[in-house]
Amino acid sequence: MIIHKAKDYEDMSRKAANIISAQIIMKPKAVLGLATGATPTGVYRQLIERYQKGDVDFSQIATVNLDEYKGLSSNNKQSYHYFMNRYLFDHVNINKGNTYMPNGLEEDEAFECNRYNEIIHSIGGIDLQLLGIGENGHIGFNEPGEVFEKGTHCVALAEHTIKVNAKFFSSVKEVPTHAYSMGIKNIMSANKILLIAFGVSKAKALYDSLFGPIVPNAPASILQLHNDVTVVADEEALSLV
């Protein structure tokens, strides 16, 4: 595991974008696993800048996202579909036909989970998976629990996650209670993993994940078993390390 300490949010974003850009340059047909949330927006801004400068080309890139809220359509402003278009896809030369997300409107959970697992498999697996980390140690929406969820699943969001994510909605009542999420096995099958974290609110989760016991109650702790993980986090997020 490689840990890069960043000075601040901009530095974290730039360092992470360097790694993603290198992946795209080394493998123009790469499959990128992408994440949403407050942490990666700066990374996406940096990638757009690199695209505008002519340094990275998304034309052959495919993407799969970690998760989507159940019940939200792709044009709902709170959906992760909408987020990805707004913060990255609308601004680079990616073929949107090659960008994949769980379908939040699919009611049949078994069908949707199976469909998404099949997509990940059919595009050849993930070359580089970008991850944020929740204050409770979740990756994707793999919440702390009794077991590591393997494949794509429909998850009941933890109360803490709903509270934290309420900042993106007009009230906590509007936060969906369920989401489709790529499972730990999907994430662990990626060739490389890039975990980004920012701010003191992530310090405990980051420390426990990187150095604590590998337990499903700290979902990100499973990353200790992956052989190619790079962590880019600012000084505050790394303050306990």
Q: Does 221 sit near ligand PGA (CB under 6 A)?
A: no
Q: Which of 38, 39, 48 is closest to 232 using CA atoms? A: 39
Q: Does 133 sit near ligand PGA (CB under 6 A)?
A: yes
Handedness of CA 188, 189, 192, 193 (dihedral sign): negative
Exposure letters 21-49 (e unless 16+ CB within 10 A, then b): bebbeeeeebbbbbbbbebbbbbbbbbbe
Closer to ligand PGA by Cβ: residue 38 or 215: 38
Catalytic residue among 65, 67, 103, 186: 67
SS3 at position 136 = coil
Closer to ligand PGA by Cβ: residue 60 or 241: 241
Binding test (CB under 6 A) with ligand PGA, winner from 33, 102, 104, 134: 134
Enclosing H/E stretch for 23? helix 9-26
**Interface characters, 32-51, with ligand PGA (x: CB under 6 A):** -----xxx------------
Q: What are the two backbone dihedrals, phi and then psi, of residue 211, each rounded to the nearest 5 degrees? A: -125, -10
Q: Does 195 sit near ligand PGA (CB under 6 A)?
A: no
CA 133 vs. chain centroid, Å, equals 8
> Partners of 230 in the beta sheet?
2, 194
**Interface characters, 48-87, with ligand PGA (x: CB under 6 A):** ----------------------------------------
Please, what is the minimum distance in Å from the beta carbon of residue 169 to ligand PGA? 13
Choose the binding region for ligand PGA from 42-50, 130-138, 184-192, 203-211 (rule: CB under 6 A): 130-138
Closer to ligand PGA by Cβ: residue 39 or 186: 39
Query: Hey, what amino acid is at 213?
Result: P
Binding test (CB under 6 A) with ligand PGA, winner from 132, 137, 176, 219: 132
DSSP string, 165-234: HGGGSSSGGGS-SEEEE--HHHHHTSSEEEEEE-SGGGHHHHHHHHHS---TTSGGGGGGG-SSEEEEEE
Choose the binding region for ligand PGA from 84-92, 129-137, 183-191, 210-218 (rule: CB under 6 A): 129-137
Instruction: Let me know if 136 is a catalytic residue.
Output: yes
Catalytic residue among 65, 138, 186, 208: 138
Active-site residue list: 67, 136, 138, 143
Binding site for ligand PGA (CB under 6 A): 37-39, 132-134
